[in-house]
Structure 1
């Protein structure tokens, strides 16, 4: 944390960036002065299909977004290590992330990390056919490419 800046952490897989990710990160960034994004390492993603893109590529893509102060790869063994290092004021979860806010708050408190856990809002599609999910993007690619063969 820099000086008295309000530090916000967002986290996720960010396999294929889409407008839903941008909405989530913009909303998280608006809650503070610095937005740090923790990118889940491929080996730690167990609640859904593992990412297609390499860890560093996903980190670099998120880091390139204007609203992001810095993107970090998650710790290989303990997801709370980067949070302990950054000491955020807020952790903002995506609207559809599987995490339980109360369980995260309890885990943070047990480690002496004082921060508030918030959840971002959903982004409604701006036009028909807009894809706001990595899974749906992959499904569309597979459907359209298989049909072409």
Structure 2
């Protein structure tokens, strides 16, 4: 079941994220996305995260509270699968913003599908540079080293 976004003015910008450890890279991508319109974050469900990463430290509901409090975010909706197609079809955003990091690795397979799908209604995918030196993986590594 998709959440209602009719109260969100166009243009709508879709930004998928896990946001388990929120860091400056997340804020940078949301700030960039907000330049194009009203940001809807497709927040991955716990099972969706676990399907390609690890089980999140915080639950979906806890992560949602954090992301909803970020000033660049107009709404948070659930991203139930690694693949973006269902949410993109449901919300038909004008833009999708994703860091260039998805060009390789576990999300590379869904990238072209998202680009092609967005094009069917005139939507555009924007890929800003990834924030150098900042990642959830690097932060997790630092935490483990300190324990």
Q: Same fold (TM over 0.5)?
A: yes
Shift of 1:29: 1.2
Is 1:115 aligned with 2:123? yes
Q: Secondary structure at the match of 1:52?
A: coil
The aligned counterpart of 2:93 is 88
* 1:60 matched residue in structure 2: 65
CA gap 1:140/1:5 in 2 versus in 1, 3 angstroms: same
Displacement of 1:138: 1.3
* Cα offset, 1:108, TM superposition: 4.4
TM-score (norm: length of structure 2): 0.78
| Counterpart contact for 1:41–1:74, Cα < 8 Å | yes
Query: Quick one: distance in 1 between partners of 2:112 and 2:47?
Result: 25
Q: 2:46 aligns with which of 42, 56, 62?
A: 42
Rg: which structure is higher?
1
Say if 1:106 and 1:135 are closer, same or farther in 2 by CA, change over 3 A.
same
Scaled by the length of structure 1, the TM-score of the pair is 0.77
- Which stretches in structure 2 are left out of the alignment for 5+ residues? 1-5
Secondary structure of 2:76's aligned partner: strand
Q: CA deviation at 1:38?
A: 0.4
Matched residue count? 136
Kindly indicate whether residue 107 of structure 2 is the aligned counterpart of residue 105 of structure 1.
no
Report the Cα distance in structure 1 between the residues aligned to 2:126 and 2:22, rounded to whole angstroms.
22
